[in-house]
Amino acid sequence: MLNEVYFGNTIHEWLAAAVTVVVVFALLLMLRQLIKKRLKIFAKRTDTRLDDLLVEVMGRTKYVFLILLSLYAGSLNLTLAATVKDVLSILVRLVILLQIGIWSSATATFLLRRKDSDDGKHASRAAIVFSVKLVIWSIVVLVGLENLGVDVTALITGLGIGGVAVALALQSVLGDLFASMSITLDEPFVPGDVIAVDAVVGTVEQIGLKTTRLKSISGEQVIMANTDLLKSRIRNFGRMQERRVVFTVGVTYQTTHEALEKIPGMMKEIIETKEGTRFDRAHFQKFGDSALVFEVVYFVTTADYLRYMDVQQAVNLEICRRFEADGIAFAYPTQTLFVHPQATATSLPG
């Protein structure tokens, strides 16, 4: 009975092919699950994104891909008609191409995705992801059509000419679009950062395809073209880790030498007693027009502006208290006029 022939193959050969399909599919499925599970465990122990990427890509492997590979493996020991073999071969190539497109799309999405920001406010990032996916799937479609025997040369030529015409017509818009992509990839700032552009200081609300929206410190929304942003000098306060404070104190010229020597140590003591500060230096800097000037430098070990102002206020109040206790007077702009009496004229004998 097993030697009876159906469609060019014995029942024994059909059964062997079926067993091959089941075994290959089971092995591929087990391998997929094992690799995915192992990678997840490994990814939790590391800080790199490569293993997370592999987990993401492995999770996008489709069952139809595994099934078709199993069917193709089972068909290798069967005698099939040439037409059936050609159809099966084309189908396998198309499914493999489709799976490669899914893997590539997942990779692009993962690499362009940020975990520490709201991508919904980053329209250019979404546009880049869409553009990359469009390119990937366009290539998949073109290669798929070529596998089906379609001549894609004329289609590619037409798309190239049309792309050049569109680029010339939308030159200014594309300039802002590419500027937006440059901001997205280079990340000089992200939504939520406080930046200063020329005379404008504000919080980045959204990075769009053509413009970036800032909420200024005075409350209004400022909209700037992306090309203008890239041409400007941008100060990003969102990347600040600490604040450097430089200030001067002037005392009167009547201050004694002993008091002047005490002032640098006094400044160091005052600053070091404040929490969240790091003293740098204090020096008798120069002889001013109406004051003896001391320059003091220290750091506030946080970027919080309110905390910085609280520390500066506490330092100033303590300086006033210590100067008052030690009898040191602050200088202020004054002018002293010294008048010398005019010499009396003496009459010479005639």
CATH topology of domain 243-326: Alpha-Beta Plaits (3.30.70)
Specify whether the CB–CB gap between 3 and 12 falls below 8 A: yes
Backbone angles phi, psi at 334, to 5 degrees: -140, 160
Say what the pLDDT of residue 179 is: 78
Say what the pLDDT of residue 6 is: 57
Helix, strand and coil percent figures for the chain, each rounded to 5: 55, 15, 25
* Prediction pTM value: 0.51
| Kind plus residue range of the DSSP H or E element containing 46 | none
Residue 132, CA distances (Å) to 114, 137, 211 in order:
16, 9, 21
What is the rounded distance in angstroms from the CA atom of residue 169 to the CA atom of residue 214? Answer: 29
Say what the pLDDT of residue 11 is: 72
Say what the pLDDT of residue 154 is: 64
Q: What is the residue-level pLDDT of the chain in tens, covering all 350 positions? A: 555 655 566 776 777 778 888 888 888 888 888 877 777 776 667 666 676 777 777 777 888 888 888 887 777 776 666 777 777 778 888 888 888 888 888 888 887 766 555 554 555 667 677 777 888 888 888 777 777 776 667 666 666 666 565 555 555 666 777 777 777 777 788 888 888 888 888 888 888 778 888 998 888 888 888 888 888 888 888 788 888 999 999 999 989 999 999 999 999 999 999 998 999 999 999 998 889 999 999 999 888 888 889 999 999 999 999 999 999 999 887 766 767 776 555 555 54
In the 8-state DSSP scheme, what is residue 254? Answer: T
| Kind plus residue range of the DSSP H or E element containing 215 | strand 211-216
Structural tokens at position 53: 């990427």
What is the rounded distance in angstroms from the CA atom of residue 327 to the CA atom of residue 222? Answer: 51
Class at the top of the CATH hierarchy for domain 116-237: mainly beta
Q: How many helices (H) and strands (E) does the chain have?
A: 10, 10
Say what the pLDDT of residue 68 is: 80
Structural tokens at position 266: 């006094």
Specify whether the CB–CB gap between 271 and 301 falls below 8 A: no
> Treating both helix axes as pointing N-terminal to C-terminal, what angle do 123-147 and 153-169 enclose, rounded to 10 degrees?
160
* Domains 116-237 and 243-326 agree in fold: no
Q: Domain spans of the chain?
A: 1-111, 116-237, 243-326
- How many angstroms from the chain centroid is the CA of residue 47? 17
